[in-house]
Structure 1
Amino acid sequence: MTDGGESADDEYLPVDPAAVREALVSWYEADHRDYPWRETTDPYPILVSEVMSQQTQLDRVVEPWREFLDRWPTVEALAAADRSEVVGFWTDHSLGYNNRAKYLHEAAGQVLTEHDGEFPRTPEGLQDLMGVGPYTANAVASFAFDAGDAVVDTNVKRVLHRAFDVPDDDAAFERVANELMPEGASRTWNNAVMELGGVVCGTAPRCDEAPCPWRTWCRAYETGDFTAPDVPTQPKFEGSRRQMRGRVVSVLREYDELPLEELGPRVRVDYGGEHGEGWLRGLLSDLSDDGLVEFEESDGTSVARLRR
């Protein structure tokens, strides 16, 4: 992180980093996508947005985010909620892995019991919360408290690789991203560089159409070579173990508890064979490990229910 200078030995920094910074920030402040979590510095709704947007396009998060906060408007409200209801909301809105909902609920409880109702303000402190890894912690610290390092996600890597020929190496990306970010301006800078990657420098770049504020310095724009680091592909959802786990939770929300012989056919219509009781027990074991489901033997019958 720097306030204007640069590391003289870093070959990937632009020749005029101050001009690069000014161009990007001016572009962002003049026009950017309006997401409601960008209009607040409250760490709670920002954390919710970050957890919801993991591997999910931002436009698809807006309505679930609003509904979630209408239902649980404060960290205190979320901590007091029934976990099965939080997980059920997650499932109903197809927000990805259900354990994210569980961890978000537990993190809310930690804020109250371990931090006197106040969110930690640093990336290191935020990582003490359940399910909050380095990327999410840094994003919340940046957007809520203006106290983070440079955020480095797939969009940012693509931008730095194309613009400044930064190699596909995590350490190099983090080093250059932090050198470019102005001191004490992580909120604006991280939003701006992520916006650049999301709006202009996507898989199919829109250099002139957007237009890109970094065309003057961009190696890819100069050479016409717009290759970029590989973008991880989302695992197929239809028929996946993740989808079936979600169905188990949905069914148990409806029926409260069910014997396995009744639960299985409600989870998948072709229940049996390789997708029979052994397969179902594996799903239940995973959900039990995540603290979402419990099952027990009663009079020779295995019964599953949501954990309260």
Structure 2
Amino acid sequence: MSDADAGPDADAFLPDDADAVRDALVTWYEADHRDFPWRRTDDPYEILVSEVMSQQTQLSRVVAAWEAFLDRWPTTADLAAADRADVVGFWSDHSLGYNNRAKYLHEAAGQVEGNYGGEFPEEPDELSDLMGVGPYTANAVASFAFNNGNAVVDTNVKRVLYRAFDVPDDDDTFERVASELMPEGESRVWNNAIMELGGVACEKTPTCDEASCPWREWCHAYATGDFTAPDVPTQPDFEGSRRQMRGRVVNVLGRSDELALDELGPKIRVDYAPDGEYGREWLAGLLSDLDDDGLVAFDHEAGVASLAR
């Protein structure tokens, strides 16, 4: 790709005094920020658990689950040796979203123990080889555990860059500007700081003055009053969702042996009716998905299910 094809240089979107912009954000963050426990550690396992738990789950709900999880399985060796059903059951009991994340976390711990001698790889590319660890999570672990990551670009960071520096809604441009803005060798503090800015000051409804946003003097949105931003996907309601039903299935089967569809159904939905909208066909589809994810063993012909072991 030529330079012309790549679009404008990242510098074109940044103020002339970019160093002052960087210093202002880091100073603001270090003076006062939300005190999540995973921000007080550089243990890659503890950070990986926090990142996986935080996917589509409110951070306020993650803290207690994170502490309980690490109390039960404090190291990758402990987690790798655990029964997968116990790990999935913990995930379901704490309403942490899709249960296959628990399965992947369990398998990733086994990879760290079996392939890396119990020591996490430090490069984002190698971390991405761990089960269930995508580029974003790999970069977050590299940043927060080893200070060895690239600039994080999530929806919050995109919103900040779009508003503050009038960066166009284009993923490649967001990546270039974020990389140019991050001080070299400071991914740990920088990525924490810019995500904190998006989380407490530059939310969908901004609180610039109340949160003492450190970028107000350079911010395009603050100067113009135009706080539009790229659309940010919203998490669907959990109550009654397919995620909730999946969790209930795993939870019920974890306390039972093999169950037939008509035994399991009423334990999942009070409105279960064998031939109704939420009946055998609906439940069989749910069980088939869980079977594909390796969480449930479902015999479609016999119409019975059990928790995968």
Q: Does 1:134 align with 2:135?
A: yes
Find the residue that maps to 2:255 and give its secondary structure: helix
| Separation of aligned partners in 1, 2:10 and 2:87 | 49
- Pair 101,8 (structure 1): closer, same or farther in 2 beyond 3 Å: closer
Which residue of structure 1 aligns with residue 12 of structure 2? 11
User: 1:8 Cα shift?
Assistant: 5.8
Which residue of structure 1 aligns with residue 36 of structure 2? 35
| Separation of aligned partners in 2, 1:240 and 1:10 | 44
Find the residue that maps to 2:211 and give its secondary structure: coil
Find the residue that maps to 1:255 and give its secondary structure: coil
User: 1:10 Cα shift?
Assistant: 3.8
Which residue of structure 1 aligns with residue 159 of structure 2? 158
Which residue of structure 2 aligns with residue 69 of structure 1? 70
User: 1:274 Cα shift?
Assistant: 2.5
Deviation digits for residues 206-237 of structure 1, max 9, x if unmatched?
21122011111101111111111111011232
RMSD: 1.4
Q: Percent identity?
A: 74
Which residue of structure 2 aligns with residue 202 of structure 1? 203
Which residue of structure 2 aligns with residue 120 of structure 1? 121
Which residue of structure 2 aligns with residue 277 of structure 1? 280
| Separation of aligned partners in 2, 1:88 and 1:219 | 47
Find the residue that maps to 1:144 and give its secondary structure: helix
Find the residue that maps to 1:228 and give its secondary structure: coil
| Separation of aligned partners in 2, 1:56 and 1:243 | 13
Which residue of structure 2 aligns with residue 4 of structure 1? none
User: 1:257 Cα shift?
Assistant: 2.1
| Separation of aligned partners in 1, 2:195 and 2:118 | 30
Contact 2:10 2:177 in 1 (8 A): no
Which residue of structure 2 aligns with residue 179 of structure 1? 180
TM-score (norm 2): 0.94
Amino acid at match of 2:171: D
Contact 2:10 2:180 in 1 (8 A): no
- Pair 302,11 (structure 1): closer, same or farther in 2 beyond 3 Å: same
User: 1:167 Cα shift?
Assistant: 1.0
Q: Which moved more, 1:276-285 or 1:90-99?
A: 276-285
- Please list every run of 5 or more consecutive structure 1 residues that lacks an aligned counterpart in the other structure: 1-6
| Separation of aligned partners in 1, 2:61 and 2:168 | 31
Q: How do 1:96-111 and structure 2 match up within 5 A?
A: 96-111=97-112
User: 1:301 Cα shift?
Assistant: 4.2
| Separation of aligned partners in 1, 2:212 and 2:262 | 59
Which residue of structure 1 aligns with residue 292 of structure 2? 289
- Pair 85,22 (structure 1): closer, same or farther in 2 beyond 3 Å: same
- Please list every run of 5 or more consecutive structure 2 residues that lacks an aligned counterpart in the other structure: 1-7
Which residue of structure 2 aligns with residue 22 of structure 1? 23
| Separation of aligned partners in 2, 1:9 and 1:66 | 40
Aligned length: 300
TM-score (norm 1): 0.94
| Separation of aligned partners in 2, 1:205 and 1:237 | 25
Contact 2:139 2:152 in 1 (8 A): yes
Which residue of structure 1 aligns with residue 51 of structure 2? 50
| Separation of aligned partners in 1, 2:200 and 2:244 | 30
Deviation digits for residues 251-275 of structure 1, max 9, x if unmatched?
1112132122211121112222222
Q: List, as ranges, runs of 4+ consecutive aligned residues in structure 1 with deviation greater than 4 Å.
A: none
User: 1:53 Cα shift?
Assistant: 0.5
Which residue of structure 1 aligns with residue 169 of structure 2? 168
Find the residue that maps to 2:156 and give its secondary structure: helix
Which residue of structure 2 aligns with residue 3 of structure 1? none
Which residue of structure 2 aligns with residue 250 of structure 1? 251
| Separation of aligned partners in 2, 1:198 and 1:9 | 23
Amino acid at match of 1:277: R
Contact 2:153 2:174 in 1 (8 A): yes
| Separation of aligned partners in 1, 2:25 and 2:270 | 53
Contact 2:140 2:149 in 1 (8 A): yes
